[in-house]
Structure 1
Amino acid sequence: MLIYILKRLGLALIVALTVSVIAFALLRASGDIATALAGEGATPESIAVIRQTYGLDRPVVVQYFAWLWDVARGDFGQSFFFRTDVAGLIFGKIGNTLILGGASLAIALALSIPLGVLAAIYSGSMIDRAVTMFSLLGQALPSFFLGLALIMIFAIRLRWFPASGTDGWRNFVLPAVTLGYYITPPFMRLVRAGMIDALNTDYVRTARAKGLPARRVVFKHALRNALVPVVGLVAVQLGLLMGGSVVVESIFALDGLGYLAYQSISYRDFPVLQAVVLLLSLAYVVLTLLSDIINAWLDPRLRAA
């Protein structure tokens, strides 16, 4: 198990370094940062001053390693627009994104697991087709459309929940439902497929032959094994939630990392955008690593492979 963890950790470090290179290169590929900061009509002299002030006159490789060294020490630089430390700015907002991601994941699991089990038990019936249609609808609806529809119904017309802000738990309900419903389909399909395979295995047929109650057979024997691949998907979807929250946080003006990324793009705040992209990518890498380790612990066949 230790050798497996060390191998996965080494691969994760390589991916993390690759992500840092891509995050650094993409912003440079978008154009001359000094010219963008100087604005339209800036003189060559003012552009040269900005380039020298922020170290943009150095070779790109030197800039990358200097930036990587600062990031390793927790220094993400200064925000061009907010005029404050980028690290403090990000860590002051990451809590809202984590709350949104956790709540969305809880909603997705609360919907997908019982629906997936129900669809598997009644495979091929009207119940199965209805659950499948519910899943397809969640996958077909864009998150921004669902978010705006929820605002129109529950915030403006019914006034049950606020449409924006982060004043309390009620502000997270509509964004969490939007993101949670959006990621429900892959969980539901995975649970349904796993349950159908588990219900047709020899150990489940043996448990039924022994006269065990149907509920115990389904939830203790079949569901326990069907949920093993769901663990890996949880980590992947949580990483996607953190990165994909940009649209939802912008719609609901939720003061998290997604909304901060939207603001940094609008204001051309390159240090903030670069740090957000890097942190969200690293979070995805770490969560994927954890899911691999948990799956290997649950399923010895993965360690053997």
Structure 2
Amino acid sequence: MGRYIIKRLAISIPLLWVISFLTFILINLSPLDPAEVVLQAQGVPKITDELIAQTKEALGMDQPFIIRYFDWLLACINLDFGDSYVTGKPVWSLIGPAFLNTLKLTLVSSVAIIVLSILLGVICALKEGKAIDKSIRGFSFFLTAMPSYWLASLLIWFVSVKLDLLPTSGMDSYKSYILPVIIITISYAGIYFRNVRTSMLNNLNEDYVLYGRACGLPEKKIAMHILRNSLQVAISIFGMAVPIILGSTVVIENVFAWPGLGSLSVKAILSRDFPIIQAYVLILAAAFVLFNMISDIINAAMNPKLRNDL
């Protein structure tokens, strides 16, 4: 198992290096001079060639590209993403608290999604073709088809405004999590539970289920074996749920005024605050690589055959 983990790390590190390089060149994709972008973000009324030259020298932009990249990469390893173009504050002092706020919302939502997906997937698989299976699938199709911002607005109007039960925005208490988590769970559980159901149905038709029943094994024990084998497929999907939710909370955070990465990234994009945008992209990409590696390791721990496939 240790060799498998080392091999996965050996694949992930070069991938992260490529991602960091692509992230760094983001600033060079702008048609404007990077120094000019800095001055515009700072609200300088009149930008002259002299100011641009001074800004380049102050920020090290006059250095060769490859030197600037490696300086930036070494700084990022130490969680130093530079300073914000707009506020002048260190990027980590802005993105760190926002990341923690988004991570809290993501983890709570992920737990709710995983539990609900497994529960609904098992029920639908065991009751295949029956009324409860058709009802759950039909209702999930209806809910996942709704735009998340529209459903969020409806819940805010009904639960928060009409009934005055939950806060409409912010993250002041545990009650602030309820509406955002409900919206995120509805958006993703309706998709993921179908994967669990499909995997369960595939395993129900395997020979070991027939042999187990022929040997007189209890149905509960057979169902546990089916669920265990089915989750090997689902783990890869659930493993990617965390980074996917982490990167897709932009709409929800803006609707509920959640002080997270989504809200911060929108403000950074509108003000062309490239250091924050670069840090945001790099963190999300690293999260995708990390959780993909974790899901592979968990699958390999559950199924030793997978260790020889790498």
Which residue in 2 is equivalent to 1:256?
260
Q: Distance in 2 between matches of 1:109 and 1:149?
A: 25
Which residue in 1 is equivalent to 2:39?
38
Give the partner amino acid of 1:22.
L
- SS of aligned partner of 1:89: helix
| Cα pair 1:190 1:230 within 8 Å, conserved | yes
- SS of aligned partner of 2:249: helix
Shift of 1:202: 2.7
| Identity level (%) | 36
Which residue in 2 is equivalent to 1:112?
117
Shift of 1:230: 1.6
Report 1:99-138 matches (<5 A): 99-138=104-143
Q: Deviations over 1:95-141 (max 9, x none)?
A: 21111111111221232112111211122233222222233234322
Which residue in 2 is equivalent to 1:208?
213
Query: What's the TM-score once normalised by structure 1's chain length?
Result: 0.92
Shift of 1:223: 1.3
Which residue in 2 is equivalent to 1:10?
10
Q: Which runs of 5+ in 1 are unaligned?
A: none
Q: Deviations over 1:170-205 (max 9, x none)?
A: 111111111122111332111101111222223323
Q: Distance in 2 between matches of 1:74 and 1:221?
A: 44
Give the partner amino acid of 1:13.
I
Q: Distance in 2 between matches of 1:67 and 1:118?
A: 51
Give the partner amino acid of 2:88.
R
Q: Which runs of 5+ in 2 are unaligned?
A: none
Residue 266 in 1 paired to residue 267 in 2?
Answer: no
Q: Deviations over 1:21-53 (max 9, x none)?
A: 111112320333322232375223222322222
- SS of aligned partner of 1:92: helix
Report 1:228-247 matches (<5 A): 228-247=232-251
Which residue in 1 is equivalent to 2:225?
221
Q: Deviations over 1:204-247 (max 9, x none)?
A: 233334444434432x2221221122211122111111111122
Shift of 1:298: 0.7
Which residue in 2 is equivalent to 1:23?
23
- RMSD of aligned alpha carbons: 1.9
Give the partner amino acid of 1:180.
T
Give the partner amino acid of 1:3.
R
Give the partner amino acid of 1:253.
A
Q: Deviations over 1:51-98 (max 9, x none)?
A: 222222333222211111111222111122233222222222222111
Residue 78 in 1 paired to residue 79 in 2?
Answer: no
Q: Distance in 2 between matches of 1:80 and 1:258?
A: 18
The count of corresponding residues between Structure 1 and Structure 2 is 304
